[in-house]
């Protein structure tokens, strides 16, 4: 199964934010709230990752609720691909 590495997921996250007029900071501890990155932005990112890998990434919401920072998003999507 094809997987995306952290830096590619980061690029895609940057694209999602740019489409909202934002920019992705280098600091992975940046809070998502301060970037205006909301749950549907996360869905959009996950679906973009799916598009590139050709594999569906389904997951429950409780895991999502623990995501607070840029680093959490990257970790979550990396872990999900590895699962």
Partner 1 sequence: MSADDLVPPSSVVLVSGGSRGLGLEIVGDLLGRGVAVAAFARTVTPELDALARKHTGRALVGPVDVTDREAVASFVRTVERELGVVDGLVNNAAVGQDSLHVHTSPDRVASIVTTNLTAPLLLTRLVVRRLLAAGRRGRIVNVTSICAQRGFPGLVTYAATKGAMEAATRALARELRDRVLVNCVAPGFFASEMSAVLGSTQLDQIVRRTPTGHLTEPDEVAPLVRMLLLEHTNVQGQVLTTDGGASI
Residue 46 contacts partner 1 per CB under 8 A = yes
**φ, ψ for residue 69 (rounded to 5)?**
-120, 170
For partner 1, which is the closer residue by CB, 23 or 55? 55
Residues 1-40 that bind partner 1 (CB under 8 A): 39
Instruction: Measure the CA dihedral 44/42/38/62, to 10°.
Output: 130
Shortest gap between Cβ of 39 and partner 1 (angstroms)?
8
Rounded CA-CA distance 29/75 in Å is 12
Question: Is residue 55 part of the contact set for partner 1 (CB under 8 A)?
Answer: no
Is 56 among the residues that bind partner 1 (CB under 8 A)?
A: yes
């Amino acid at each position: 199964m094809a997987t995306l590495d952290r830096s590619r997921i980061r690029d895609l996250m940057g694209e999602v934010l740019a489409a909202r007029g934002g920019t992705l900071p280098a600091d992975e501890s940046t809070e998502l709230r301060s970037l205006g990155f909301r749950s549907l932005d996360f869905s959009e990112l996950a679906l973009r990752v799916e598009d590139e890998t050709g594999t569906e990434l389904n997951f429950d919401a409780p895991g999502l609720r623990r995501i607070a920072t840029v680093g959490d998003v990257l970790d979550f999507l990396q872990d999900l691909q590895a699962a």
